[in-house]
Amino acid sequence: MDYEQLKTFLTVADVKSFTKAAELLHITQSTVTSRIQAVENFYGKQLLTRSKRGIKLAEIGTELLPYLQRQMELWNKSLRMVSEHHAALRTITIATTYSLWRGTMVQIIRDLQSSSFSLRLETDHSPIIVEKVLDGTIDAGFVYNKPVSPNIVSIHVLNDTYRLYGHKHFAGTDLENILELPRLPWIYMNWGHHFEKWLKEEIGSDLFKPLIEVGHSELEMKLIEEMEGVGFLPDEMVDRTRTDLVPLTVGSQKPIPAQNVYFIYKKSRGQEEAIQTVVEKLRNNGKLNI
């Protein structure tokens, strides 16, 4: 199985059509067919099912898809490395979570600007970022929770602290008991393992029923504003000059835990100039807690 065959298979899996895939890849439909057959012959399994309703992944194709997508990412990564070999600047790819793209993290990225390399930024979930660091798809990342892998170097960068915020409609309203939270228009975002564990222990799994659960911090804030709701937000994310969000006191058995943020990279790459430069810049700017 070669690069073009894999690329064609992933395109067909995405658009669910040989014809559309041929148009997108600027090749003939017969070429698409032959490349798909080559991929299926490589695995000795039918990965796509064809019917009058169209094309869909077979069960084994669905299981293989994320691995093939990662393989394509690695292929593209290797092609970029070769193309950049003689370039004036090397590109370093850094990923972080959706919820971290704000205030402090944006400033950290600004601080990382360098004359010796350029930055490529990606966004993903923490577990995926860890996997990509391990397989080399990306060079480094910023994640919540310290990875347990012995092959990853984790450096504590900062602490996020949280508070319950609500629409200005809730000004002067306090929750004497956190069990009242599910009765409100609660917009929930998972701010990491320790936060989720704390919250479920406080209100119980049976009452853990937010109005809406989101995966992006800016969306949570927007929904709190638009739906006149409440939700937990990082303190540094909420501009104190804003009048549309107000902090709410909430009674709980334990205080809201702070969330650690780590800069991570693969241990075997620690001597690379780009990684060392990033670590040194973070240290010089007072961002590393070593």
The CB density around residue 108, as the number of other CB atoms within 10 Å, is 22
Domains belonging to the chain, first-starting first, are 3-73 (1.10.10.10), 88-156+260-284 (3.40.190.10), 162-257 (3.40.190.10)
User: pLDDT digits over 136-195, tens only?
Assistant: 888 999 998 888 899 999 999 888 899 999 999 888 888 889 999 999 999 999 887 888
Burial (CB count <10 Å: 0-12, 13-18, 19+), residue 240:
exposed
User: pLDDT digits over 91-119, tens only?
Assistant: 888 999 887 887 777 878 888 776 567 88
In the prediction, which pLDDT does 290 show?
Answer: 44
In the prediction, which pLDDT does 288 show?
Answer: 52
In the prediction, which pLDDT does 85 show?
Answer: 56
Q: How far is CA 283 from CA 106, 141, 189, in A?
A: 16, 16, 30
pLDDT at 283 over 70: yes
Lowest pLDDT segment from 3-7, 214-218, 257-261: 214-218
pLDDT at 289 over 70: no
In the prediction, which pLDDT does 83 show?
Answer: 63
Tokens of 85: 């070999």
In the prediction, which pLDDT does 136 show?
Answer: 85
pLDDT at 232 over 90: yes
Is this model's pTM higher than 0.75 or not? no
Across 250-269, b (16+ Cβ under 10 Å) vs e yields bebeeebbbbbbbbbbbeee
pLDDT at 240 over 80: no
**Contacts of range 84-92, beta carbons closer than 8 Å, 24 or more positions apart:** 89/116, 89/117, 89/118, 90/116, 90/117, 90/118, 90/274, 91/117, 91/118, 91/119, 91/120, 92/117, 92/118, 92/119, 92/120, 92/139, 92/140, 92/274, 92/275, 92/278
What residue type is assigned to position 33 of the chain? T
